[in-house]
Amino acid sequence: MAAWNIPNTLLDGDMDLLNLLLDPQFLQHTEFADLLDHSLLIAEVLPHLIRLDPYLTCLSPASVYFVVLSSVIQCLALRQYISLADGLENPAIVVPEKLDNSSRIHLKVLSLLHENVGRWEHPVVSEIYRLLLYCTSQALDRSSTNHSKISALVLMQYRWCGHGTGILALSNTAALSEWTFPVPPDEEIWSWNGELEVTLYAVVTRLCDPTMRMCQPGYFDLSLCDQKLPTRNNDNSDIRRLVLNGQKNQAIRFLIRRCHRSFVAIGQSGCPLLDEILPLASTFSSILTALLALAARLQTVVDSANIAVRAVDDNLTISDTESPSTDALNWHQVTISGIRSKLIRLQSGGTQEGDLKEVLAASLLLSMFGFPLQVNNWSLHVQGMIALIESTEPTIIDSLSVARFVRTCAAYNDISAFSLGRLEDSHLAWLKWNICPVGGSGKAYPHSQTPSFTPFEVTIGYPESLITIIAMMSAMFEEKRICARISTSLYGRLKHAFDNTMAESRLPVFNDPAVNNTLNGLSCVTMIEVLLESWIPPGAVNNLSPHLATSVLTAWECIRKAALIYLWRGGFEANPMIALTSTRSEISESYIRLLTYSIGSLVDHAESEGLTIANAMLWSLVVVGNECCMQPMLRQEVLRLLDRAQKHFSIAHFDHVSRLLQELWIRADNPVSEASPGMQGMLNLQGLSRQFDLCIPLF
């Protein structure tokens, strides 16, 4: 157990003790819950270490440091109760027994290390022992004894970041140069960290609840429904806790970490994908196997992230390192077999809500499983979800939270503008199902009483109202390609949205009757252009922290500008070497430079601060890359951004896009007459994708 929880403490936390103590990112609910969870489990091992080695003379230095690291987490947890006691609102509040026992055994181990003068005499051990002793005396024993000042002057010399040398002391000058916290290091550590932005008392109480874990031989209880992923609805009131063996436990925990990075675009809002689907895994076996398949697939991607992709042939075939693992394929096949019988039952009539939830949720996970592949498996699952939703009474879909979430995701994945190389025509599901009006909030979550992001928006990062405009633009290009004209229904929808926009006076110039008389024969392109120019971001962004709100607004502006460029170009079916009109060309060039810089800053924030909105920038980057046929100086920067995003978010199809763009640029740089026979007319991303049998999602 120690071998499992110590590495996970490092993965969720930081080797640097001061960062762990003073960086507010580790006081966020999710991060802190992970840290304390592992620390509590480490505490269960410590009594056995003492029994086997009463004086701890046989411990390795690494094990000692891990105990010190876990003790810091205990201090953070106890600090919540010291704050509450200091506030005098409820001075009699009792620390949970589990945390009490855990902190005392940590203190006992540190005491033994502290007393072992010859072997473990080190300032770091002494300082953390003093800090934990203070926390236990204040939070557990309610001692009023004055304690000696505990500052960061000692710990600042032993850093595991920057130029720090770990357990070897830095000079005072070097230590000060590494100091990045807002208050001088000679201040009392807790005096300026006492007012926490987020009270973690509820998290500590929940983790220490004696009913949280159901201990069975050979099993770890994740308790995900209660511990980390409370459901936002009453659909899942009968859910049992998820009890898994060690290997499955490890896979699901890995999936949780990856989802918070790769499948959450707008932070500070939880992880809707897991909130909606993971609680169902204890009831529906196909959902659990689909989660395990996705976890194994993502593990393969992560394992190969730092390995140079080996080109197998000239046809952009992916290398073996990117192929799904045997475990992933096995779980995938088990899931397919599991939902087949449920599908037959649903198709025979008499919709069962349980079957519907299981099939829809598992199908969504299977489509995500296929994202890294070059084939169109993911698209086939989207087609299946749409067919099932259309054959089900809308009132049933509306009544189930997970069904509403899957419906919105399926409609979004169906938009042809957001993929390359798809062979199937779009169902226009986003427009047909009226997911969201151009200027309002969607119908997918009608019971929400406060302006907030929908679970879909948190997951994808795109505002639903902006997606509606892009969906109409995508439908326009698709109808022109298929039947060379725009349908009456699409034109009517566009005209209705355009008229509503004009009525709201977002563009004052159109209030002039003389100008309005010239707009009666507006083309669809012009109306979409006006809708994009006049689009207003949803007000829910104001509920975010200022820094995150700025990043989200930057991302949305990138998407809006990319949509305008996509509109002017004529989509990914158009030849990017054909020049735009002079006015649009100048605007497009300035937008491309701005997009490159803005997306670069979002990737910087992702790498340095953990903001995840950059994972929503693939489509915008592809739009920029498509225009780089005419602006070769930006090509390397686009490739660099794709590579950084792929490595940070472990999204494999970023790499497929990168290689496809390079092939496009090679052909753009060569005269058509030198191209291979039959290659004429292939100078567009859609044509290239189909030529190489690629089907790439741009989300």
Whether 678 has a pLDDT exceeding 80, the answer reads no
Whether 5 has a pLDDT exceeding 60, the answer reads no
pLDDT attached to residue 178: 85
User: Does residue 236 or residue 661 have the better pLDDT?
Assistant: 661
Give pLDDT tens digits for 586-634.
999 999 999 999 999 999 999 888 889 999 999 999 999 999 988 888 9
Cβ atoms within 10 Å of 217's Cβ, excluding its own: 4
Give pLDDT tens digits for 95-147.
899 999 999 999 999 999 888 756 778 899 999 999 999 899 888 877 666 66
What's the rounded Cα separation, in Å, for the pair 197 and 24? 8
Q: Name the band, by pLDDT with cuts 50, 70 and 90, for residue 673.
A: very low
β-bridge partners, 419: 697
Q: Which residue has the tokens 């997918």?
A: 444
What's the rounded Cα separation, in Å, for the pair 195 and 189? 12
User: Does residue 337 or residue 223 have the better pLDDT?
Assistant: 337
β-bridge partners, 166: none
Work out the angle between the directed axes of helices 635-649 and 246-262 (0-180°, nearest 10): 150
Work out the angle between the directed axes of helices 653-669 and 635-649 (0-180°, nearest 10): 170
What's the rounded Cα separation, in Å, for the pair 414 and 467? 12
Quote the distance between the C-alpha of residue 68 and its chain's center: 31
pLDDT attached to residue 618: 95
Contact 124, 68 (CB under 8 A): yes
**What's the chain's average pLDDT?**
80
Whether 222 has a pLDDT exceeding 50, the answer reads no
φ, ψ of residue 434 to 5 degrees: the values are 50, 55
Q: Give CA separation, 218 vs 101, 213, 243, 256, 322, in Å.
A: 23, 13, 10, 21, 32
pLDDT attached to residue 236: 40
Torsion of CA 574, 576, 578, 582, to 10 degrees: 110
Whether 647 has a pLDDT exceeding 90, the answer reads no
Whether 517 has a pLDDT exceeding 70, the answer reads no
pLDDT attached to residue 201: 76
Q: What is the pTM of this model?
A: 0.69
List Cβ<8 Å contacts ≥24 apart for 503-512.
Answer: 504/439, 506/534, 506/536, 507/533, 507/534
pLDDT attached to residue 219: 44
Whether 315 has a pLDDT exceeding 50, the answer reads no
φ, ψ of residue 124 to 5 degrees: the values are -65, -45
* Residue type (1 letter), 651: I
Whether 447 has a pLDDT exceeding 60, the answer reads no
φ, ψ of residue 667 to 5 degrees: the values are -70, -35
Sign of CA dihedral 382, 388, 394, 400: negative
Whether 672 has a pLDDT exceeding 90, the answer reads no
Cβ atoms within 10 Å of 329's Cβ, excluding its own: 15
Tokens at 389, concatenated? 């939703």
pLDDT > 90: what percent of the chain?
Answer: 33
What's the rounded Cα separation, in Å, for the pair 660 and 693? 11
pLDDT attached to residue 551: 94
Q: Give CA separation, 519 vs 486, 516, 524, 532, 568, in Å.
A: 18, 5, 11, 17, 19
The continuous run of DSSP H or E covering 496 comes out as helix 488-503
Whether 83 has a pLDDT exceeding 70, the answer reads no
Q: Name the band, by pLDDT with cuts 50, 70 and 90, for residue 506.
A: very low
Q: What is the DSSP string of 221-271?
A: E--HHHHT---SSSTTTTPPP-EEEHHHHHHHHHHHHHHHHHS-SSSSS--
pLDDT attached to residue 568: 94
User: Does residue 367 or residue 439 have the better pLDDT?
Assistant: 367
pLDDT attached to residue 102: 94
pLDDT attached to residue 351: 66
pLDDT attached to residue 403: 94
Q: Give CA separation, 484 vs 228, 270, 478, 480, 481, in Å.
A: 51, 44, 9, 4, 6
Q: Count of residues for the chain? A: 699
pLDDT attached to residue 196: 44
Which of 26-40, 453-467, 575-589 shows the lowest per-residue confidence on average (mean pLDDT)? 26-40
User: Does residue 187 or residue 600 have the better pLDDT?
Assistant: 600
Cβ atoms within 10 Å of 112's Cβ, excluding its own: 18
Whether 578 has a pLDDT exceeding 50, the answer reads yes
Tokens at 659, concatenated? 């290689």
Whether 85 has a pLDDT exceeding 50, the answer reads no
Nearest 5 degrees, angle CA 192-CA 198-CA 204?
105
Whether 3 has a pLDDT exceeding 50, the answer reads no
Which of 231-235, 373-377, 659-663 shows the lowest per-residue confidence on average (mean pLDDT)? 231-235
User: What average pLDDT does the segment 401-412 reach?
Assistant: 95
Contact 532, 463 (CB under 8 A): no
User: What average pLDDT does the segment 519-537 reach?
Assistant: 81
Whether 513 has a pLDDT exceeding 60, the answer reads no
Tokens at 52, concatenated? 């086997």
